[in-house]
Structure 1
Amino acid sequence: MQQYIQKHSEKDAFATVMFVYQSALIQMRSRIDVLNNELSQVYSYNPIEYVKTRLKTPESIMQKLRKQGHSFNVNDLIEYIHDIAGIRITCSFFSEVYFLSDMIAKQDNLEVLSIKDYIKNPKESGYMSYHMLLSIPVALADAVVPAKVELQIRTMAMDFWASLEHKIYYKYEGNAPDYFERELQECASIISRLDTKMMSLNEAMKKIDGDGHI
């Protein structure tokens, strides 16, 4: 991407790089929508409950660069900030998380740069999700530019926990009372058990549909 951006002045470069990430977000969202429609049409299977996309704001990018000890310039932005373009897929069961991640990883012209499995290895806070850092080619008028997109896949229960944790973090600016942390960890444990129980019920229902008995 740096070679493409070098054609532009520093003033235009930031707008250009954000345009590239926005385009990558549109293309990745389109791929996910097509996959979901295919699963529904061909297999009568809808693992995706909903999809959310977001492009990081300039203010958020600046804060993250400074926190990491980098300068606010286009080269550092491209090199060190991996979640400028973000997509979150929410599904019902954690087995579907791995099913979807496998389907996406197999797509042509899509490179998996890294994977962080916070479902098998939750964060200390209790956070659970499956993160994939992807590189997707963006076809522009005079070049094909690879751009990074962070994809998060989680269950609805995990998403509920993450949403609450996010609200608490920003309300207290990262300095929430200690008992909040303990309560969130306990909630994460409850949610993990809930996900396991709900998946067991779903497997039992599928078995009934398949052979008429459990």
Structure 2
Amino acid sequence: MRAFRESFARFIMPYKFAIDEIATKVSILREEFSELHDYNPIEHISTRLKSADSIEQKIARKQCAPSFDAIRESVTDIAGVRIVCSFVSDVYHVFSMLTEQEDLRVLTVKDYISTPKPNGYKSLHVIVEVPVFLSEGSVRVPVEVQLRTVAMDFWASLEHKIYYKYDGVVPAQLLADLTTAAVTANSLDVTMEKLHQQVKNGDADGSRPIAV
């Protein structure tokens, strides 16, 4: 067990450092906007590192070989960063600023905002590889970055709590209400985006644009 713990610690450490790298990049962008611009598109960020139990469940679902090399190849969401923005346009703006950085390599993009999941889930998912410099050399580590609005994040948090409470077997009426809530959250995002653009462009009363 001690040998396994040491091996797992060595395996998981680059993922922790990769999270730190992405979080630092986002924090720099956030601070730059706060200091130099009138408007900051990033509301807040959070990070997540899968536990050994979560990784075990993931490889069981994917029927992945129980080896660290196989896990590295097949599981790309061990490290996760979530970026919450004010408006939908901000989500794509922050996505562009982050993924255009030279040391990041984009592996996959799943746009659940333009194409939501059947249950109403909306978010922009991107897997990026970030270089992590260790004593034995540099390694490239995948990190799943989720970008969403405040409304999307609130809905996703509620969905997670409901599925956790019912252990995945959610009553039909709750699922229907959850889908309705997703429609409401989307309507709020659309309205807020419209107001944001009107104020930014000065369309509301013909006055000069101001930052929101």
Give the TM-score taking structure 1 as reference length: 0.91
Tell me the equivalent position of 1:70. 64
Q: Over the residues paired in the alignment, what is the CA RMSD in angstroms?
A: 1.8
| Match status 1:90 vs 2:89 | no
Specify the code of the residue in structure 1 equivalent to 2:117: K
Q: Post-superposition shift, 1:10?
A: 6.3
| 1:17 CA drift (Å) | 1.7
Match of 1:201 among 192, 195, 205: 195
Segments of 5+ residues of structure 2 without an aligned counterpart are none
Question: 5+ residue gaps in structure 1?
Answer: 1-8
CA–CA distance in 2 between the matches of 1:180 and 1:68?
29
**Comparing 66-75 and 88-97, the one that deviates more:** 66-75
The alignment-based identity, stated in percent, is 40
Number of residue-to-residue matches in the alignment: 206
Return the alpha-carbon distance in structure 2 between the equivalents of residues 94 and 103 of structure 1: 15
Give yes or no for the alignment of 1:171 onto 2:165: yes
Amino acid at match of 2:167: E
Match of 2:207 in 1: 212
Instruction: Tell me: CA distance 1:211–1:61, structure 2 relative to 1, closer, same or farther (3 Å).
Output: same
- Residues 10-38 of structure 1 deviation map (CA, whole Å, 9 limit, x = unaligned): 66332112101001111110011111112
Match of 2:40 in 1: 46
Aligned to 1:124: 118
Q: What code does the residue aligned with 2:62 have? A: Q
Displacement of 1:73 in angstroms is: 2.3
Residue number in structure 1 paired with 2:7: 13
The aligned residue for residue 34 of structure 1 is: 28
Give 1:213 deviation, angstroms.
Answer: 6.5
Match of 1:6 in 2: none
The C-alpha deviation readout for 1:15-72, integer Å capped at 9, x for no partner, is 1121010011111100111111122223232111110011111111101111122233
